[in-house]
Amino acid sequence: MQINICLSSDNNYAQHLAVTIASILKNANIDDELFFFIFDGGITSDNKEKILKLKEIKYFEIEYIMIKALDLSYLPNHSLHISTAMYFRFKIASLLPEKIEKVIYLDCDIIVLKSLTNLFNEDIKDYYIAGVEDIGYYFDRRFLKRETKSLYINSGVLLINVKKWRQDNIEEKLLNVTEKNFLFIHNDQDIINIKLKDKIKALNLKWNVQDSFARILGKLHPLKKQINQAVLNPTIVHYTGAIKPWQSIYIPFGKLYIDYLKLTPFYHSHKIKSKFKMFFEYYYFNLIKRYTNKLLIRNKNKK
């Protein structure tokens, strides 16, 4: 059975794209037929050749879909470490070949530790997408005094019903909402959860173990028992924080990244930032992000 997987990367993220692919290949079942669709924001031919060398781990098919000419810079972006390329997942139904009806979408800050077969086989015929609870937003909603019981998923790991997206013109609906609203703190993730909320299927937490699971948020969340189980036996690890494992391995699951980087041709050219620089950037990013979010909330409350 063919498993369709979609990722998005420019040349700056080519190494991390390769690490994610290497982890998928290393942990795939023998009979997994893996087909990668890459939204290509300018990956060089040299780096594409390096990615092809991953076939030494396990054979796969790959197709690059050029997105460099697609300008989404006009859309709002309140993140300090994510580009507007995050919105390309909205256009997945029109960018992928017509024959593709279902796909796993992954960010490139991800390590896959087991076969993706069971995830791809999830029944979502009545849903637009399936995803895993974003535990950080539980606390954001309490701060904003919003209802906290409804499902709010993290958009870094999605199982997408591409056929249903085409039928119901979801791409246009998501982009229209994005253009008209500039106060979404979590950008594409907010849009997906607000617009598709009645057609989102919850997945087991093991399919997107965010590094926040292993921090204090995981210990305070109502799902702490399930979170602890997922941390002990993750299927997909997702580095959701501002500091990534290629900057510092001193974050939850950080060493895993290096383990899989060693399977790629990018390993020998990789350099990790110093502890001091990582420490400074971590607090700088978080101070700016908190200040920005407070301004957004204050402006929204005035309206």
Domain locations along the chain: 2-302
Place domain 2-302 in its CATH homologous superfamily: Spore Coat Polysaccharide Biosynthesis Protein SpsA; Chain A (3.90.550.10)
| Mean pLDDT, range 244-253, rounded to an integer | 90
Q: Encode pLDDT of 93-108 as tens digits.
A: 999 999 999 999 999 9
Residue 158 has pLDDT above 90, yes or no: yes
Q: State both tokens at 144.
A: 């904003």
Q: State both tokens at 114.
A: 């087991």
CA 85 from chain centre, in angstroms, equals: 12
Query: What pLDDT is stored for residue 301 in this prediction?
Result: 52
Instruction: Quickly state the pLDDT bin for 210 (edges 50, 70, 90).
Output: very high
Instruction: Quickly state the pLDDT bin for 136 (edges 50, 70, 90).
Output: confident
Residue 216 has pLDDT above 90, yes or no: no
Residue 246 has pLDDT above 50, yes or no: yes
Query: What pLDDT is stored for residue 300 in this prediction?
Result: 47
Residue 241 has pLDDT above 80, yes or no: yes
Q: How far apart are CA 116 and CA 162, in angstroms?
A: 18
Instruction: Quickly state the pLDDT bin for 289 (edges 50, 70, 90).
Output: very low
Query: What pLDDT is stored for residue 90 in this prediction?
Result: 83
Residue 164 has pLDDT above 70, yes or no: yes
Output 29 or 271, whichever has higher pLDDT. Answer: 29
DSSP bridge pairs for 130 = 159, 201
Q: How many CA atoms lie within 13 A of 19 on its CB side?
A: 28
| Mean pLDDT, range 129-135, rounded to an integer | 94
Q: How far apart are CA 71 and CA 75, in angstroms?
A: 9
Q: What percent of the chain shows pLDDT beyond 90?
A: 57
Output 103 or 222, whichever has higher pLDDT. Answer: 103
Query: What pLDDT is stored for residue 298 in this prediction?
Result: 52
Output 269 or 59, whichever has higher pLDDT. Answer: 59
Query: What pLDDT is stored for residue 259 in this prediction?
Result: 96
Average pLDDT, the chain: 83
Instruction: Quickly state the pLDDT bin for 286 (edges 50, 70, 90).
Output: low
- Residue 88's nearest CA partner among 110, 116, 60, 65 is 65
Helix 254-261 vs helix 14-26: angle between axes, to the nearest 10 degrees? 90
Cα→Cα distances 140→152, 233, 302, Å? 11, 27, 19
Query: What pLDDT is stored for residue 175 in this prediction?
Result: 75
Cα→Cα distances 167→66, 90, 170, 288, Å? 24, 14, 8, 41
- Residue 37's nearest CA partner among 110, 103, 119 is 103
Residue 292 has pLDDT above 80, yes or no: no
Instruction: Quickly state the pLDDT bin for 150 (edges 50, 70, 90).
Output: confident
Instruction: Quickly state the pLDDT bin for 84 (edges 50, 70, 90).
Output: very low
Q: Are 135 and 218 in contact (CB under 8 A)?
A: yes
Q: How far apart are CA 198 and CA 200, in angstroms?
A: 6
| Mean pLDDT, range 168-191, rounded to an integer | 71
Residue 74 DSSP SS3: coil
Output 218 or 106, whichever has higher pLDDT. Answer: 106
Residue 143 has pLDDT above 50, yes or no: no
Query: What pLDDT is stored for residue 81 in this prediction?
Result: 43
Supply φ then ψ for residue 37, to 5 degrees: -110, 120
Query: What pLDDT is stored for residue 176 in this prediction?
Result: 75
